[in-house]
Structure 1
């Protein structure tokens, strides 16, 4: 290096877990783009992107492991009341649950 040149000192600030959780919430559940969520929280785009990529690679993929013993089932349906539940998850987090009732007459699924 040349003498007399000054190195720029970059300061880093640790981001609180609440800001990280809010960022993930805005991106995953509210559908914001990373850029818009970062602007809303007044953080740098690069920091928001790295937080989201870490969350996607480490948290979401670990939670979405499919248990092969709990796959969808089928059976022959006779005249009876059927109650089934639909559970919605986005990014591995519970969003919604809905229970349906239906009357069937001799159908094979």
Structure 2
């Protein structure tokens, strides 16, 4: 038994969720930036391009942080355990009982 507040498997699931969400948000941000740059070529203000790019990048960081904190707060979803993506506490207990 550890004295950690957040178990290592929950931290790992949170990091994976943050990375996955950041990648998805980055694709959306890239599309927004490319679209805005395309409009700027047609005569839109460059300040609008900079504001859109900045907002898009902040959105990526915000989405990743949200996904990470959601896993830390709510723990590992049952679907992750059922899919075998993480080891359940019961499986870990069964394994350690078999070693002794």
TM-score by length of 1: 0.28
Q: Compute the TM-score of the two structures, normalised by the length of structure 2.
A: 0.30
Higher strand share: 1
Structure with more of its chain in helix, by fraction = 2
Does 1 or 2 have the higher relative contact order (CA < 8 Å, sep 6+)?
A: 2
Give the number of the structure whose alpha-carbon radius of gyration is greater: 1
